[in-house]
Structure 1
Amino acid sequence: MTDAIESTAADRAVKAKHRKMWALGDYAALAGDLIPTLGPALVRACGVKAGDRVLDIAAGTGNAAIPAALAGADVVACDLTPELLDVGRQLAGKQGAELEWREADAEALPFGDGEFDTVMSCVGVMFAPHHAATAHELVRVCRPGGTVGLLNWTPEGFIGRMFAAMRPYAPPPPPGAQPPPLWGKEQHVRTLLGDRVTEVEAHRATVEVDRFERPEAFLDYFKAVYGPTIAVYRNIADTPDRVAELDSALVELARQHGCGTGRSTMEWEYLLLTGRRSG
């Protein structure tokens, strides 16, 4: 019993850190500035239509949930971070989208078995630390014959490599945690879903990002706006040499991906995977 209590307390502490991290910066601005097409792409791939009951897990500020609602679906957008949900409500109101916003942990969803026709996540569930628990939950709440749809950054793409560059400067991950970009590997996701999801279709694609004319502009933007980057820099704030090392690594990474080489368009790779809930 003591071990269980300690495990639960440790998990609560991890989730509290995640909430705090994603509340940093301005994720809504980043999603709108850089990746506004990803949510609609996932909604189309899932075949969301009017009347469908849809759950968007780790929905953030509604990059996928709002397009699904505008398509006529009955949508619940859930996320661990209430600050993101508050912004999402405002964005939905401005666009005339009606949907439900719920605070929820992707690893322990407060929904019944088979409650939704479509369960999806757009660069969201990949950041839950325990992949198997997350996969179990997203399949559990999807009805038999319903659609599971996931869009996640690949390890080999720009964002996956950015997280790899930041990892040595971040606090140690909690026990049992797995790297987020593994959700961008098709075989990893297939293994997580197992035979509970059939008719799996997966392909890699890229989103074009043309906001940054110089690598340094990319660095400044992410240090100001993106919660995980802000958190990593806070972790090393007292060690200027390490800050300079990470600055250099991220600037070079942006340069390698086409930023500041006479063109400003970068291509960020993701994996889009859909399937049918078996049973």
Structure 2
Amino acid sequence: MSESLVAKEADRALKAKHRAVWAAGDYAAVAEDVIPELGAVLARASGVHDGQRVLDVGAGTGNAAIPAALAGAEVVASDLTPELFDRGRELAAKRGAHLEWQQADAEALPFADDDFDVVLSCVGVMFAPHHQDSADEMVRVCKPGGTIGLLSWTPDGFIGRMFAAMKPYAPPPPPGAQPPPRWGDEAHVRELLGDRVTDVVAQRDTVHVDHFDGPEAFRDYFKANYGPTIAVYKAISDDPDKVSALDRDLADLARQFDVGDGSFAMDWEYLLLTAHERA
């Protein structure tokens, strides 16, 4: 087999693994229960309005795509994991939003150059393994003068710290794969987009999470529903000592982030970045 075919097979296997991770558990529940407002935050910051053509990359169940459609835009919600679309369609119908759902790899988007007025991703594209490839594709499909809007968990925020806590228990990443929370580092995103964009606006903010009764309740919910956490526990399932250690580490981390006054709550930090593609 030629070197190029070997590389293609390896990439196909990697993407199949990523799809399986996000199909596991119940990401729809996580998006609805824990971070329901984040997509609307991104759509507003990106200035989505009536008449625009909008692409949501790594759309999941439509956290950003549905608010964009409700703003009057023509929206395509794309994701590597189409298993999430059924719930997305239900949510869209419930809210009266009309949009298109299309399976797509963020690193090889099946859309024409300069096809969209706005290209969004709300804690979605950050999980594609090759950051530059994904950034290049988002720029490619965005029209000159169009808007790119990104909302990503930061490395030092709770989710970034959670991935760091899980890393010692997880299998080593494949060669060339980059950590998802790097998309929450403004300097990294500016480097990915380069001089192809202008008018970059970046700010850090937090989402207040008070869905859980306590640190252990958070941990158990993510063990049952969040694909990446499920995958790490699956990798160590035959080692009870490691399972117990990770149980302790995740609960301790959640305890460190408790900002509740009499009840458990956390503030999860994200980076919100918008830019215009250079005309």
TM > 0.5 fold call: yes
CA distance in 1, matches of 2:261, 2:201: 35
Gaps of 5+ in 1: none
Q: 8 Å contact 2:259–2:267 — kept in the other structure?
A: no
Using the TM superposition, give the Cα deviation of residue 253 of structure 1 relative to its aligned residue in structure 2, in angstroms: 0.1
Moved more, 262-271 or 69-78: 262-271
Correspondence list, 1:3-152, <5 A? 3-152=3-152
Deviations 1:204-254 (A, max 9, x none): 000000012211111111011111101110000000000011011001000
Q: Distance in 2 between matches of 1:12 and 1:75?
A: 27
Question: In the alignment, what sits opposite 1:227?
Answer: 227
Q: 3-state DSSP class of the match of 1:192?
A: helix
Alignment-mate amino acid for residue 221 of structure 2: Y
RMSD in angstroms over aligned alpha carbons? Answer: 1.1
Q: Alpha carbons of 1:119 and 1:275: their partners in 2 closer, same or farther (altered >3 Å)?
A: same
Which residue identity lines up with residue 256 of structure 2 in the other structure? Q
Alignment of 1:176-215 (within 5 A): 176-215=176-215
Q: Which stretch shifts more, 195-204 or 84-93?
A: 84-93
User: If the length of structure 2 is used for normalisation, what is the TM-score?
Assistant: 0.98
* Correspondence for 1:276: 276
Q: Number of residues paired by the alignment? A: 279
Q: Which runs of 5+ in 2 are unaligned?
A: none
- The residue type equivalent to 2:98 in the other structure is E
In 2 relative to 1, CA 247–261 (structure 1 residues): closer, same or farther, beyond 3 Å?
Answer: farther
User: Could you say what secondary structure the match of 1:204 adopts?
Assistant: strand
User: Does structure 2 conserve the Cα–Cα contact (< 8 Å) formed by 1:215 and 1:259?
Assistant: no
State, as a whole percentage, how many aligned pairs show the same letter: 68
Structure 2: distance between partners of 1:147 and 1:241: 48
Match of 1:265 in 2: 265
Letter in 2 for 1:81: T
Q: Give the distance between the partners of 2:109 and 2:149, measured in 1 at CA.
A: 17
Q: Deviations over 1:29-87 (max 9, x none)?
A: 11111101100000000000011000000000000000000111000000000101222
Measure how far apart 1:170 and its partner are: 1.1
Residue identity opposite 2:34 in structure 1: L
**Contact 2:260/2:266 (<8 A) preserved:** no
Offset, 1:95:
1.3
Equivalent position amino acid for 2:141 in 1: V
Contact 2:169/2:232 (8 A) holds in 1: yes
Q: 1:246 maps to what in 2?
A: 246
Q: List structure 1 runs of 4+ shifted beyond 4 angstroms.
A: none
The DSSP-based 3-state class of the residue aligned with 2:114 is coil
Q: How far did 1:259 drift?
A: 6.6
Deviation at 1:265, TM superposition (A): 1.8
Inter-partner Cα distance in structure 1 for 2:174 and 2:88: 29
Which SS does the other structure have where 2:60 is aligned? coil
SS at match of 2:45: helix
The residue type equivalent to 2:29 in the other structure is A
Separation of aligned partners in 1, 2:273 and 2:123:
12
Query: 1:260: how far off?
Result: 7.5
How far, CA to CA, are the matches of 2:45 and 2:262 in structure 1? 34
The CA distance in 2 between the partners of 1:59 and 1:183, in whole Å, is: 16
The one-letter code of the counterpart of 1:36 is P
After TM superposition, the score normalised by the length of structure 1 is 0.98
- Distance in 2 (CA, whole Å) between partners of 1:261 and 1:220 is 22
The equivalent residue for 2:165 is: 165
Q: In the aligned structure 2, how far is the partner of 1:17 from the partner of 1:102?
A: 19
Tell me, yes or no, if the aligned pair for 1:77 and 1:102 is still in contact at 8 Å: yes
* Residue 157 of structure 1: how far off its partner (Å): 0.1
- How far off is 1:168 after superposition? 1.1
Residue 263 of structure 1, CA deviation: 3.0
Give the Cα–Cα distance (whole angstroms) in 1 for the partners of residues 93 and 222 of structure 2: 27
Residue 119 of structure 2 aligns to a residue in which SS? Answer: strand
Quote the offset at 1:98 in angstroms: 0.5
